[in-house]
Structure 1
Amino acid sequence: MGTEGKSSEGPAEATPDGVRAGVAIHGTGNCPVVAASNAHDGPITGVNWTHAGDTHTEEFRARDPDAVEDAEGVPSASSVIDLGSERVYRYDRPDDGACACRIIEELDCPIADARAEDGVLLLTLHLPDLERLRDVVSALDGVVERVEVRYLVHGATGGDELSDRTLVDRGRLTDRQCEVLRTAYRMGYFERPRDANASAVADALDIAPSTFAEHLAAAQRKLLEETLAGN
Protein backbone atom coordinates (compact mmCIF):
# COMPACT_ATOMS: atom_id res chain seq x y z
CA MET A 1 0.00 0.00 0.00
CA GLY A 2 1.50 3.35 -1.02
CA THR A 3 2.17 6.32 1.23
CA GLU A 4 1.38 9.08 -1.25
CA GLY A 5 -0.47 12.02 0.22
CA LYS A 6 0.42 11.07 3.81
CA SER A 7 2.57 13.34 5.91
CA SER A 8 5.70 11.82 7.42
CA GLU A 9 5.57 14.25 10.30
CA GLY A 10 4.27 13.07 13.65
CA PRO A 11 1.94 15.01 15.91
CA ALA A 12 3.21 18.38 17.08
CA GLU A 13 4.92 18.21 20.45
CA ALA A 14 3.04 20.01 23.18
CA THR A 15 4.72 23.02 24.74
CA PRO A 16 6.01 22.10 28.22
CA ASP A 17 4.50 23.79 31.25
CA GLY A 18 7.81 24.15 33.07
CA VAL A 19 8.99 27.03 35.22
CA ARG A 20 12.31 28.64 36.10
CA ALA A 21 12.43 29.43 39.80
CA GLY A 22 14.88 31.46 41.84
CA VAL A 23 14.93 30.16 45.41
CA ALA A 24 16.66 31.71 48.42
CA ILE A 25 17.31 29.30 51.28
CA HIS A 26 17.94 30.84 54.69
CA GLY A 27 19.48 29.04 57.65
CA THR A 28 21.16 26.07 55.96
CA GLY A 29 23.27 25.51 59.06
CA ASN A 30 25.64 22.84 57.82
CA CYS A 31 26.78 24.44 54.52
CA PRO A 32 30.36 25.78 54.79
CA VAL A 33 30.09 27.71 51.51
CA VAL A 34 27.08 29.62 52.84
CA ALA A 35 28.90 30.26 56.13
CA ALA A 36 31.96 31.59 54.27
CA SER A 37 29.76 33.94 52.22
CA ASN A 38 29.01 35.96 55.37
CA ALA A 39 32.55 37.33 55.28
CA HIS A 40 32.89 37.45 51.47
CA ASP A 41 32.42 40.69 49.51
CA GLY A 42 29.86 39.74 46.88
CA PRO A 43 28.49 36.34 45.91
CA ILE A 44 30.38 33.06 46.02
CA THR A 45 29.58 31.52 42.63
CA GLY A 46 30.02 28.32 40.64
CA VAL A 47 28.97 26.14 43.57
CA ASN A 48 28.81 22.45 42.66
CA TRP A 49 29.36 19.19 44.51
CA THR A 50 30.01 15.49 44.31
CA HIS A 51 29.73 12.50 46.64
CA ALA A 52 32.22 9.70 47.16
CA GLY A 53 31.49 7.18 49.87
CA ASP A 54 30.70 9.12 53.02
CA THR A 55 32.39 12.34 51.84
CA HIS A 56 30.59 15.36 50.42
CA THR A 57 32.91 17.60 48.36
CA GLU A 58 31.87 21.13 47.38
CA GLU A 59 33.69 23.30 44.83
CA PHE A 60 33.15 27.03 44.36
CA ARG A 61 34.68 30.24 43.00
CA ALA A 62 35.52 33.25 45.16
CA ARG A 63 36.81 36.74 44.34
CA ASP A 64 38.09 37.37 47.88
CA PRO A 65 40.51 34.58 48.90
CA ASP A 66 41.25 36.15 52.29
CA ALA A 67 37.59 35.99 53.29
CA VAL A 68 37.44 32.29 52.44
CA GLU A 69 40.75 31.34 54.03
CA ASP A 70 40.10 33.33 57.21
CA ALA A 71 36.44 32.28 57.63
CA GLU A 72 35.69 31.05 61.14
CA GLY A 73 33.61 28.04 62.09
CA VAL A 74 33.92 26.28 58.73
CA PRO A 75 36.19 23.47 57.46
CA SER A 76 39.52 24.47 55.96
CA ALA A 77 39.13 25.02 52.22
CA SER A 78 41.77 23.77 49.81
CA SER A 79 42.75 26.06 46.95
CA VAL A 80 42.51 24.31 43.57
CA ILE A 81 43.40 26.91 40.93
CA ASP A 82 43.86 30.68 40.65
CA LEU A 83 41.92 32.15 37.70
CA GLY A 84 43.14 35.70 38.16
CA SER A 85 39.97 37.51 39.24
CA GLU A 86 38.71 34.42 41.07
CA ARG A 87 40.09 31.42 42.91
CA VAL A 88 38.56 27.93 42.94
CA TYR A 89 38.25 26.18 46.31
CA ARG A 90 37.00 22.86 47.63
CA TYR A 91 35.57 21.77 50.94
CA ASP A 92 35.39 18.15 52.10
CA ARG A 93 32.94 17.24 54.84
CA PRO A 94 30.96 14.21 56.00
CA ASP A 95 27.83 13.46 53.99
CA ASP A 96 25.23 13.93 56.75
CA GLY A 97 22.12 13.83 54.56
CA ALA A 98 20.91 17.26 55.70
CA CYS A 99 22.37 19.18 52.76
CA ALA A 100 19.65 21.34 51.15
CA CYS A 101 21.02 20.77 47.63
CA ARG A 102 21.17 17.01 48.18
CA ILE A 103 17.55 16.98 49.40
CA ILE A 104 16.43 18.82 46.26
CA GLU A 105 18.35 16.47 43.98
CA GLU A 106 16.72 13.47 45.62
CA LEU A 107 13.42 14.81 44.25
CA ASP A 108 14.88 14.34 40.73
CA CYS A 109 15.36 18.10 40.45
CA PRO A 110 18.77 19.07 39.03
CA ILE A 111 20.07 22.43 40.22
CA ALA A 112 20.83 24.74 37.30
CA ASP A 113 22.85 27.27 39.30
CA ALA A 114 23.96 27.65 42.90
CA ARG A 115 25.60 30.57 44.66
CA ALA A 116 25.86 31.95 48.18
CA GLU A 117 25.71 35.54 49.37
CA ASP A 118 25.45 37.10 52.81
CA GLY A 119 24.68 33.76 54.44
CA VAL A 120 21.92 32.82 52.00
CA LEU A 121 21.98 29.93 49.51
CA LEU A 122 20.61 31.07 46.12
CA LEU A 123 19.47 28.38 43.68
CA THR A 124 18.06 28.40 40.17
CA LEU A 125 15.76 25.47 39.38
CA HIS A 126 14.11 24.35 36.15
CA LEU A 127 11.00 22.44 37.16
CA PRO A 128 8.30 20.65 35.13
CA ASP A 129 5.46 22.37 36.99
CA LEU A 130 4.55 24.37 40.09
CA GLU A 131 3.66 21.21 41.99
CA ARG A 132 7.31 20.16 41.92
CA LEU A 133 8.27 23.53 43.38
CA ARG A 134 5.84 22.89 46.23
CA ASP A 135 7.52 19.51 46.74
CA VAL A 136 10.90 21.23 47.03
CA VAL A 137 9.66 23.72 49.63
CA SER A 138 7.93 20.97 51.62
CA ALA A 139 11.03 18.75 51.59
CA LEU A 140 13.14 21.56 53.07
CA ASP A 141 10.62 22.32 55.80
CA GLY A 142 12.21 21.62 59.16
CA VAL A 143 15.70 21.27 57.64
CA VAL A 144 16.32 24.97 56.95
CA GLU A 145 14.94 28.10 58.60
CA ARG A 146 13.07 29.52 55.62
CA VAL A 147 12.62 29.08 51.86
CA GLU A 148 11.89 32.18 49.80
CA VAL A 149 10.81 32.01 46.15
CA ARG A 150 12.33 35.20 44.77
CA TYR A 151 11.17 34.90 41.20
CA LEU A 152 9.20 32.59 38.96
CA VAL A 153 9.26 32.55 35.16
CA HIS A 154 6.95 30.43 33.02
CA GLY A 155 8.23 29.09 29.70
CA ALA A 156 7.09 30.21 26.26
CA THR A 157 3.39 29.74 25.61
CA GLY A 158 3.80 28.19 22.15
CA GLY A 159 3.53 29.49 18.60
CA ASP A 160 6.13 29.81 15.89
CA GLU A 161 8.23 32.31 17.85
CA LEU A 162 9.49 31.40 21.27
CA SER A 163 9.81 34.29 23.66
CA ASP A 164 13.14 35.01 25.30
CA ARG A 165 11.98 35.85 28.80
CA THR A 166 14.34 37.07 31.47
CA LEU A 167 13.16 38.10 34.92
CA VAL A 168 15.72 40.00 36.93
CA ASP A 169 15.96 39.09 40.60
CA ARG A 170 16.13 42.43 42.42
CA GLY A 171 16.59 40.51 45.65
CA ARG A 172 20.27 40.13 44.74
CA LEU A 173 20.74 43.89 45.14
CA THR A 174 21.35 45.51 48.50
CA ASP A 175 19.00 48.28 49.66
CA ARG A 176 21.72 50.83 48.96
CA GLN A 177 22.32 49.50 45.44
CA CYS A 178 18.58 49.70 44.71
CA GLU A 179 18.53 53.28 45.98
CA VAL A 180 21.49 54.23 43.78
CA LEU A 181 19.91 52.70 40.67
CA ARG A 182 16.50 54.23 41.39
CA THR A 183 17.92 57.71 41.97
CA ALA A 184 20.15 57.56 38.91
CA TYR A 185 17.23 56.44 36.76
CA ARG A 186 14.85 59.11 38.05
CA MET A 187 17.43 61.85 37.52
CA GLY A 188 18.08 60.78 33.92
CA TYR A 189 21.60 59.43 34.41
CA PHE A 190 20.93 56.64 31.90
CA GLU A 191 19.43 58.93 29.23
CA ARG A 192 21.34 59.87 26.09
CA PRO A 193 22.30 62.67 26.41
CA ARG A 194 22.30 62.48 30.19
CA ASP A 195 20.01 64.74 32.21
CA ALA A 196 22.32 64.36 35.24
CA ASN A 197 25.97 63.40 35.59
CA ALA A 198 27.59 61.21 38.24
CA SER A 199 28.38 64.18 40.50
CA ALA A 200 24.77 65.35 40.50
CA VAL A 201 23.43 61.91 41.37
CA ALA A 202 26.08 61.49 44.06
CA ASP A 203 25.08 64.86 45.58
CA ALA A 204 21.42 63.78 45.63
CA LEU A 205 22.43 60.62 47.48
CA ASP A 206 24.80 62.55 49.77
CA ILE A 207 27.74 60.34 48.86
CA ALA A 208 31.05 60.86 47.06
CA PRO A 209 31.12 60.36 43.27
CA SER A 210 33.59 57.49 43.73
CA THR A 211 31.17 55.76 46.15
CA PHE A 212 28.32 56.25 43.66
CA ALA A 213 30.46 54.67 40.93
CA GLU A 214 31.26 51.67 43.15
CA HIS A 215 27.61 51.03 44.07
CA LEU A 216 26.51 51.47 40.45
CA ALA A 217 29.16 49.09 39.11
CA ALA A 218 28.28 46.42 41.70
CA ALA A 219 24.55 46.70 40.95
CA GLN A 220 25.04 46.57 37.18
CA ARG A 221 27.31 43.52 37.49
CA LYS A 222 24.66 41.64 39.46
CA LEU A 223 21.93 42.55 36.99
CA LEU A 224 24.05 41.52 34.01
CA GLU A 225 24.93 38.19 35.65
CA GLU A 226 21.24 37.49 36.09
CA THR A 227 20.25 38.66 32.60
CA LEU A 228 23.02 36.81 30.77
CA ALA A 229 22.95 33.61 32.85
CA GLY A 230 23.17 30.62 30.53
CA ASN A 231 23.99 32.73 27.42
Structure 2
Amino acid sequence: MGTGGKPADDGAAAVPGGVRAGLAIHGTGNCPVVTASTAHDGPITGVNWTHAGDTHTEEFRARDPDAVDRAEGVPAPTSVVDLGDERVYRYDRPRNGRCACRIVEELDCPIADARAEDGVLVLTLHLPDLDRLRDVVSALDGTAELVEVRYLVQGAARGDGASDRTLVDRGRLTDRQSEVLRTAYRMGYFERPRDANARDVAEALDISPSTFAEHLATAQRKLLDETLAEN
Protein backbone atom coordinates (compact mmCIF):
# COMPACT_ATOMS: atom_id res chain seq x y z
CA MET A 1 0.00 0.00 0.00
CA GLY A 2 1.41 3.39 -0.97
CA THR A 3 2.25 6.12 1.51
CA GLY A 4 1.38 9.00 -0.78
CA GLY A 5 5.02 9.82 -1.45
CA LYS A 6 6.58 9.93 -4.90
CA PRO A 7 7.57 6.42 -6.01
CA ALA A 8 11.19 5.69 -6.68
CA ASP A 9 12.17 5.90 -10.32
CA ASP A 10 13.98 2.65 -10.99
CA GLY A 11 14.55 3.75 -14.57
CA ALA A 12 16.46 6.93 -13.70
CA ALA A 13 19.51 7.63 -15.80
CA ALA A 14 22.74 6.35 -14.31
CA VAL A 15 25.25 8.87 -13.08
CA PRO A 16 28.24 8.73 -15.43
CA GLY A 17 31.51 7.58 -13.86
CA GLY A 18 34.06 9.21 -16.10
CA VAL A 19 37.69 9.91 -15.30
CA ARG A 20 39.90 12.87 -14.46
CA ALA A 21 43.40 12.28 -15.74
CA GLY A 22 46.69 14.13 -15.39
CA LEU A 23 49.02 13.54 -18.35
CA ALA A 24 52.70 14.48 -18.42
CA ILE A 25 53.90 14.75 -22.02
CA HIS A 26 57.67 14.56 -22.42
CA GLY A 27 59.64 15.57 -25.51
CA THR A 28 57.00 17.50 -27.45
CA GLY A 29 59.75 19.46 -29.22
CA ASN A 30 57.62 21.99 -31.10
CA CYS A 31 55.94 23.88 -28.23
CA PRO A 32 57.60 27.23 -27.36
CA VAL A 33 55.93 27.35 -23.93
CA VAL A 34 57.35 23.95 -23.01
CA THR A 35 60.79 25.02 -24.25
CA ALA A 36 60.61 28.26 -22.24
CA SER A 37 59.75 26.29 -19.11
CA THR A 38 63.22 24.70 -19.11
CA ALA A 39 64.68 28.07 -18.10
CA HIS A 40 61.85 29.03 -15.74
CA ASP A 41 61.96 28.49 -11.98
CA GLY A 42 58.70 26.68 -11.28
CA PRO A 43 55.76 25.89 -13.55
CA ILE A 44 54.45 28.10 -16.34
CA THR A 45 50.70 28.17 -15.78
CA GLY A 46 47.48 29.33 -17.40
CA VAL A 47 48.47 28.00 -20.80
CA ASN A 48 45.72 28.50 -23.38
CA TRP A 49 45.55 29.14 -27.11
CA THR A 50 43.47 30.31 -30.02
CA HIS A 51 43.53 30.01 -33.79
CA ALA A 52 42.88 32.87 -36.20
CA GLY A 53 43.44 32.23 -39.87
CA ASP A 54 46.93 30.80 -40.27
CA THR A 55 48.12 32.03 -36.86
CA HIS A 56 48.30 30.00 -33.65
CA THR A 57 48.53 32.16 -30.50
CA GLU A 58 49.51 30.75 -27.12
CA GLU A 59 49.08 32.69 -23.89
CA PHE A 60 50.60 31.82 -20.52
CA ARG A 61 51.54 33.21 -17.10
CA ALA A 62 55.11 33.29 -15.77
CA ARG A 63 56.50 34.38 -12.41
CA ASP A 64 60.05 34.80 -13.73
CA PRO A 65 59.90 37.16 -16.76
CA ASP A 66 63.69 37.25 -17.11
CA ALA A 67 63.79 33.48 -17.59
CA VAL A 68 61.16 33.67 -20.31
CA ASP A 69 62.99 36.48 -22.09
CA ARG A 70 66.27 34.57 -22.14
CA ALA A 71 64.84 31.21 -23.20
CA GLU A 72 66.68 29.90 -26.25
CA GLY A 73 65.23 28.27 -29.32
CA VAL A 74 61.83 29.96 -29.13
CA PRO A 75 60.36 33.09 -30.74
CA ALA A 76 60.41 36.33 -28.77
CA PRO A 77 57.27 36.45 -26.61
CA THR A 78 54.99 39.49 -26.35
CA SER A 79 54.33 40.79 -22.85
CA VAL A 80 50.59 41.38 -22.50
CA VAL A 81 50.01 42.50 -18.90
CA ASP A 82 52.01 42.66 -15.67
CA LEU A 83 49.99 41.27 -12.75
CA GLY A 84 52.55 42.07 -10.07
CA ASP A 85 53.73 38.63 -9.00
CA GLU A 86 53.49 37.22 -12.53
CA ARG A 87 53.31 38.39 -16.11
CA VAL A 88 51.09 37.28 -19.00
CA TYR A 89 52.87 36.51 -22.30
CA ARG A 90 51.85 35.45 -25.77
CA TYR A 91 53.59 33.55 -28.54
CA ASP A 92 52.39 33.93 -32.13
CA ARG A 93 53.46 31.29 -34.61
CA PRO A 94 52.21 29.75 -37.85
CA ARG A 95 49.30 27.37 -37.49
CA ASN A 96 51.13 24.32 -38.76
CA GLY A 97 52.77 21.21 -37.42
CA ARG A 98 51.34 18.78 -34.91
CA CYS A 99 51.31 20.00 -31.31
CA ALA A 100 50.12 17.88 -28.40
CA CYS A 101 47.23 20.16 -27.40
CA ARG A 102 45.91 20.28 -30.94
CA ILE A 103 45.99 16.48 -31.18
CA VAL A 104 43.93 16.19 -28.00
CA GLU A 105 41.43 18.77 -29.25
CA GLU A 106 41.05 16.93 -32.57
CA LEU A 107 39.82 13.95 -30.55
CA ASP A 108 36.98 16.18 -29.31
CA CYS A 109 38.48 16.26 -25.81
CA PRO A 110 38.51 19.72 -24.14
CA ILE A 111 41.59 20.42 -22.03
CA ALA A 112 40.65 21.45 -18.50
CA ASP A 113 44.10 22.76 -17.56
CA ALA A 114 47.52 23.05 -19.19
CA ARG A 115 50.89 24.02 -17.73
CA ALA A 116 54.56 23.46 -18.48
CA GLU A 117 57.39 22.64 -16.09
CA ASP A 118 61.02 21.65 -16.73
CA GLY A 119 60.33 20.89 -20.38
CA VAL A 120 57.23 18.78 -19.70
CA LEU A 121 53.68 19.63 -20.79
CA VAL A 122 51.13 18.69 -18.11
CA LEU A 123 47.47 18.42 -19.13
CA THR A 124 44.34 17.78 -17.07
CA LEU A 125 41.52 16.05 -18.94
CA HIS A 126 37.96 15.04 -18.05
CA LEU A 127 36.99 12.01 -20.11
CA PRO A 128 33.92 9.75 -20.28
CA ASP A 129 35.82 6.49 -19.75
CA LEU A 130 39.19 4.75 -19.75
CA ASP A 131 38.87 3.79 -23.41
CA ARG A 132 38.87 7.48 -24.31
CA LEU A 133 41.98 7.99 -22.21
CA ARG A 134 43.66 5.17 -24.10
CA ASP A 135 42.73 6.88 -27.39
CA VAL A 136 44.37 10.11 -26.22
CA VAL A 137 47.56 8.40 -25.06
CA SER A 138 47.82 6.43 -28.31
CA ALA A 139 47.35 9.56 -30.42
CA LEU A 140 50.05 11.41 -28.49
CA ASP A 141 52.57 8.59 -28.80
CA GLY A 142 53.46 9.69 -32.32
CA THR A 143 54.23 13.26 -31.24
CA ALA A 144 55.92 12.88 -27.84
CA GLU A 145 58.82 10.82 -26.58
CA LEU A 146 56.83 9.68 -23.55
CA VAL A 147 53.25 10.10 -22.34
CA GLU A 148 52.90 9.48 -18.60
CA VAL A 149 49.62 9.17 -16.73
CA ARG A 150 50.57 10.88 -13.48
CA TYR A 151 47.25 10.37 -11.75
CA LEU A 152 43.82 9.05 -12.49
CA VAL A 153 40.59 9.73 -10.63
CA GLN A 154 37.84 7.40 -11.73
CA GLY A 155 34.23 7.91 -10.74
CA ALA A 156 31.93 4.87 -10.76
CA ALA A 157 28.27 5.42 -9.90
CA ARG A 158 26.86 3.07 -7.27
CA GLY A 159 23.28 1.85 -7.13
CA ASP A 160 22.27 4.68 -4.79
CA GLY A 161 23.44 7.27 -7.33
CA ALA A 162 26.49 8.23 -5.26
CA SER A 163 29.89 8.30 -6.86
CA ASP A 164 32.65 5.93 -5.79
CA ARG A 165 35.84 7.67 -6.85
CA THR A 166 39.25 6.09 -6.89
CA LEU A 167 42.55 7.97 -7.06
CA VAL A 168 45.42 6.10 -8.67
CA ASP A 169 48.79 7.79 -8.15
CA ARG A 170 51.43 6.37 -10.47
CA GLY A 171 54.05 8.34 -8.56
CA ARG A 172 54.26 5.33 -6.25
CA LEU A 173 55.93 3.36 -9.04
CA THR A 174 59.65 3.43 -9.69
CA ASP A 175 60.84 4.49 -13.16
CA ARG A 176 61.60 0.87 -14.00
CA GLN A 177 58.18 -0.36 -12.86
CA SER A 178 56.50 2.34 -14.97
CA GLU A 179 58.59 1.34 -17.97
CA VAL A 180 57.64 -2.33 -17.54
CA LEU A 181 53.92 -1.53 -17.30
CA ARG A 182 54.05 0.89 -20.23
CA THR A 183 55.95 -1.52 -22.48
CA ALA A 184 53.69 -4.45 -21.60
CA TYR A 185 50.62 -2.33 -22.33
CA ARG A 186 51.92 -1.04 -25.67
CA MET A 187 52.91 -4.51 -26.82
CA GLY A 188 49.47 -5.93 -26.05
CA TYR A 189 50.42 -8.07 -23.08
CA PHE A 190 47.12 -7.23 -21.34
CA GLU A 191 44.96 -7.88 -24.40
CA ARG A 192 42.80 -11.00 -24.69
CA PRO A 193 44.11 -12.86 -26.59
CA ARG A 194 47.57 -11.46 -25.92
CA ASP A 195 49.54 -9.81 -28.72
CA ALA A 196 52.78 -10.47 -26.81
CA ASN A 197 53.76 -12.92 -24.09
CA ALA A 198 56.05 -12.38 -21.11
CA ARG A 199 59.15 -13.45 -23.03
CA ASP A 200 58.40 -10.99 -25.85
CA VAL A 201 58.05 -8.08 -23.43
CA ALA A 202 61.12 -9.14 -21.43
CA GLU A 203 63.21 -9.21 -24.62
CA ALA A 204 61.98 -5.72 -25.56
CA LEU A 205 63.07 -4.51 -22.10
CA ASP A 206 66.35 -6.49 -22.27
CA ILE A 207 65.59 -8.32 -19.03
CA SER A 208 64.82 -11.93 -18.14
CA PRO A 209 61.20 -13.16 -18.04
CA SER A 210 61.51 -13.74 -14.29
CA THR A 211 62.67 -10.15 -13.73
CA PHE A 212 59.81 -8.88 -15.91
CA ALA A 213 57.32 -10.92 -13.87
CA GLU A 214 58.75 -9.54 -10.61
CA HIS A 215 58.56 -5.90 -11.74
CA LEU A 216 55.07 -6.40 -13.16
CA ALA A 217 53.74 -8.05 -10.01
CA THR A 218 55.19 -5.32 -7.77
CA ALA A 219 53.76 -2.53 -9.94
CA GLN A 220 50.33 -4.12 -10.14
CA ARG A 221 50.26 -4.71 -6.40
CA LYS A 222 51.04 -1.05 -5.70
CA LEU A 223 48.27 0.13 -7.99
CA LEU A 224 45.78 -2.40 -6.65
CA ASP A 225 46.62 -1.38 -3.08
CA GLU A 226 45.30 2.09 -3.93
CA THR A 227 42.40 0.99 -6.12
CA LEU A 228 41.02 -1.60 -3.72
CA ALA A 229 41.91 0.04 -0.41
CA GLU A 230 39.05 0.32 2.07
CA ASN A 231 38.09 3.91 2.89
Confirm whether residue 153 of structure 1 aligns to residue 135 of structure 2. Answer: no
Structure having the larger proportion of residues in strand: 2
User: 1:144 offset after TM fit, Å?
Assistant: 1.3
- TM-score, normalization: structure 2? 0.66
- Matching residue of 2:196: none
User: 1:69 offset after TM fit, Å?
Assistant: 1.0
- Matching residue of 2:124: 124
* Structure 1: gaps of 5 or more residues: 172-231
User: 1:18 offset after TM fit, Å?
Assistant: 0.6
Confirm whether residue 79 of structure 1 aligns to residue 79 of structure 2. Answer: yes
- TM-score, normalization: structure 1? 0.66
Instruction: State the one-letter code of the partner of 1:53.
Output: G
81 and 10 in structure 1: CA distance in 2 versus 1, 3 angstrom threshold? farther
- Structure 1 segments of 4+ aligned residues over 4 angstroms from their partners: 4-10, 160-171
Q: Would you say the 8 A contact 2:44–2:116 is kept in 1?
A: yes
- Root-mean-square deviation (CA), in Å? 2.5
42 and 6 in structure 1: CA distance in 2 versus 1, 3 angstrom threshold? closer
Q: Would you say the 8 A contact 1:97–1:103 is kept in 2?
A: no
After superposition, give the CA deviation of every residue in 1:52-104 in whole Å (9 maximum; x if it has no partner): 11111000000000001111110111011111111110000111140100000
Cα distance between partner residues in 2 of 1:81 and 1:140:
33
Cα distance between partner residues in 1 of 2:135 and 2:65:
36
Instruction: State the one-letter code of the partner of 1:26.
Output: H
Cα distance between partner residues in 1 of 2:90 and 2:169:
29
Quick one: percent identity of the two aligned structures? 74
* Structure 2: gaps of 5 or more residues: 173-231
- Matching residue of 2:43: 43
Q: Would you say the 8 A contact 1:26–1:119 is kept in 2?
A: yes
Cα distance between partner residues in 1 of 2:77 and 2:12:
51
Matches within 5 A, 1:48-197: 48-158=48-158, 159=160, 161-162=162-163
